[in-house]
Amino acid sequence: MKDVGIDAVEFRSGKLKLDLPGTFAEVKDEDPAKYTKGLGLHASSFPDAYEDIVTMAANASKRLMDRKGLEPDDIGRIDVATESAFDHSKPVSTYVAGCLEQVYDGDFRHANKGERKFACIAGTQSVDDAVNWIAADKNRGRAAIVISTDTALYERGDSGEATQGAGAVAMLIDEDPDLVTIEPEQGIGSVDETDFLKPNQQFPSVDGKRSMQVYLMRMREALEDYETQVETHPDDFAFIPFHTPFPGMVRKAAPLGYRHVARGTEVEDELAEEIGRQPRPEAFDDDEAYREALKEYTDKLTETERYQEWYSRAIEPTLDISSRVGNWYTSSVHLARLSALKHARENGIDLDHERLLVGSYGSGAQAEIHGETVQPGWEDEIAQLNVDDQLVERYDLSWEEYEQIHDVHNHEESVDVDPLTAPEKEFVFDGWGRMGERKYTYVE
Ligand code: CAA
C-alpha cells in the first residue's frame, strides 16, 4: 500500500488578538485564573476588517505553495473544511482557487474542489478524503491542498465567547510525505446530537456543559472502535493531539483515555500498589456506584507521578498554540499536531518514525481516532513555519475595538471600520460583486 499523508503544513492566524486574562476578564469582572487555569486560554485570534475565512485560507495556501515550489498544475484537488461558510452553494475552495489564480501563472481548472461540513471534525474528514483519492490512484501524480478555516465567533455574552478564535491551516496531502503518514485504521463514535449547531444562523446555539459530556462520550466510543483494530498502550504514542475547543477540555479527556488504554496492562498493575486496580462493572450492583468508583479512581490517577509524567510528555505540548489563539474549530486538532511537532523541534526530541494518536471531534456529534507515523522530513518542514512571528505580531485589541471587530464580522450588522493593521503581500477582502459574492485582491 502507498504511504500517503501530510507532506507540508501552513498556519495563518487572524491578525488581531484579544487578551483573555487581561482585557476580557476585566470587563467580565471575572478572576483571570478562570481563563488561564480553568479554560487554559491566554488569548483569542480575530480577523481584521479585511480578513475572513477566504483570505486566511488563501494566504496559508499561497505560503504553502511558494515554500514547496508548487504551481497550480501540481494540484489536483482543493478541499476546504469550515463551519463558517457564507454561501450555501458556492464552496469556499472556489474563492480560494480564484485568489490563487490572481498570483500564479496557470489555473486550477482541472482540480476537483469541494467543501466539507461536520462541525470541527470536517478538517480531518477532508484530509481523509484526499488521502483516499491518492491511495485510489485517482490523482494522476498530483497532490491535494486541504484547508481548514474558520472565524469561530459566538454571540456576544454567550458562554462560549471566551473560546472564540480565527485562523486557517493549509495542508499538502501527497504520497511519501515529509511530515506524517496516515495509518488506515480508524475508530469512529458517531451519534445524532443537538449539543452545538447553527440552523441557518451565523452564531452557534450551544449547550456548553452538555457539549463537554458529548465530546467525552463520542471520544470514548471512537477509542473503543479503534481498539477493535489496533492494540494500544499509553507509551505507544509520542504525542496525542486532540480536538481542543479550549485546553481545559483536553485536560478532562486525557485521564479518561489514559485509564482506558492502561486497563489490563502492566501500567495498571504498577499503579495498583498506589491507587488500587481500576473498578470493573461486574463488581458493582448498580451503574451509579460503578461510575462513582470510576470517578474516584480517575481523580487518584491524575495525582500519580506516572500519569503526570505521561501528561507532560504526550498531551501538554499539544496545547500551546491553542492556548494562544482560542478555538479554530476545523483547524483545532491540526493546531494540536503542529504544536506538538513544534515543541519537539524546539526541545531536540527525535520523532523520526514515532507515532501520534490523533483524536478529532465535531459537534452534532462525531469523534474519530487514527494513528500517524512521523516521517524523517518533519524537522525541516516545521523549521520553515513562522507561527511565533505571526502570533507576536498580532494587534492587541482594546475592549471597544473588540466590540467593533465582532460587529464587522457579524453578518447581521453592516458596520464599516478602518482596519487596525496594514495589509502587506496578502489577499484581502475587497467588497461585493454584482451577485452578492465576496471579492478579493492581492495587496503587494
Ligand atoms: N481559577 C481556576 N479555575 C477556575 C476559576 C478560577 N478562578 N474560575 C473558574 N474556573 C474553572 C472552572 O472550575 C471550570 O473548570 P472545571 O470544568 O474543571 O470545573 C473552568 O474554569 C471553566 O469555568 P466554567 O465552567 O464556569 O466556565 P463557563 O461555564 O463560563 O464556560 C463552557 C465553559 C461551557 C465550556 C463554555 O466555554 C462554552 O460554552 N464553550 C463553547 C462550547 C465548547 O467549547 N464545548 C466543548 C465541547 S464541544 C466541542 O469541542 C466542539 C467545539 O469546538 C465547539
Q: What is the pLDDT of residues 76-123, one digit of tens each?
A: 999 999 999 999 999 999 999 999 999 999 999 999 999 999 999 999
Per DSSP, the three-state class of 59 is helix
CA angle 246, 382, 78 (to 5 degrees): 75
Average pLDDT, the chain: 97
Query: What pLDDT band is residue 1 in, cutting at 50, 70 and 90?
Result: confident
Ligand 1 contacts CB of residue 40 (under 6 A): no
Catalytic machinery residues: 83, 120, 243
Eight-class DSSP state of 88: S
Answer yes or no: is the C-beta of 38 below 6 A from any ligand 1 atom: yes
List the beta bridge partners of residue 5.
Answer: 174, 181
pLDDT at 414 over 90: no
Measured in degrees and rounded to the nearest 5, phi and psi for residue 347 equal -115, 15
Q: Is 416 a residue whose pLDDT tops 90?
A: no
pLDDT of 49 strictly over 90: yes
Q: Is the Cβ atom of 249 under 6 angstroms away from ligand 1? A: yes
The string of DSSP codes covering 270-337 is: HHHHHH-PPP-GGG-SSHHHHHHHHHHHHHHHHHSHHHHHHIIIIIGGGSHHHHHH---GGGHHHHHH
Rounded Cα distance, 397 and 429, in Å:
20
Q: Give the pLDDT score at 436.
A: 94
Answer for the pair 246, 163: CB distance below 8 angstroms, yes or no.
yes
Contact 351, 374 (CB under 8 A): yes
Does the structure show a pLDDT above 90 at 415?
no
Distance (angstroms) between ligand 1 centre and the Cα of 327 equals: 13
Mutate to test the pocket of ligand 1, among 39, 252, 361 (most ligand atoms within 8 A of CB): 39
pLDDT at 325 over 90: yes
Q: What average pLDDT score do residues 327-353 get?
A: 98
β-strand partners of 396 = 17
For residue 260, the tally of other CB atoms under 10 A from its CB is 16
Rounded to 10°, the helix 287-303/266-275 angle is: 90
39 CA to centre of ligand 1 in angstroms = 5
d(CA 10, CA 341): 13
CA of 161 to the centre of ligand 1 (A): 11
pLDDT in tens, 199-230: 999 999 999 999 999 999 999 999 999 999 99
Residue 104 CB burial class (10 angstroms; 0-12, 13-18, ≥19)? middle
3-state secondary structure (DSSP) of residue 170? strand
Percent of the chain with pLDDT over 90: 99
Residue 284 to residue 290: CA distance in whole angstroms:
6
* The one-letter amino acid at 119: A
Decide: 35 in ligand 1 pocket, CB within 6 A.
no
Q: Is the pLDDT of residue 71 over 90?
A: yes
* pLDDT tens track for 267-322: 999 999 999 999 999 999 999 999 999 999 999 999 999 999 999 999 999 999 99
pTM: 0.98
Q: Tell me, what DSSP letter sits at residue 23?
A: I
CA torsion angle for 240, 154, 123, 38 (degrees, to 10)? 0
Closest ligand 1 atom to residue 329 Cα is 53
Say how many Å lie between the CA of residue 160 and the centre of ligand 1.
Answer: 8
What atom in ligand 1 is closest to the CA of residue 243?
A: 50
Label residue 15 by pLDDT band (50, 70, 90). Answer: very high
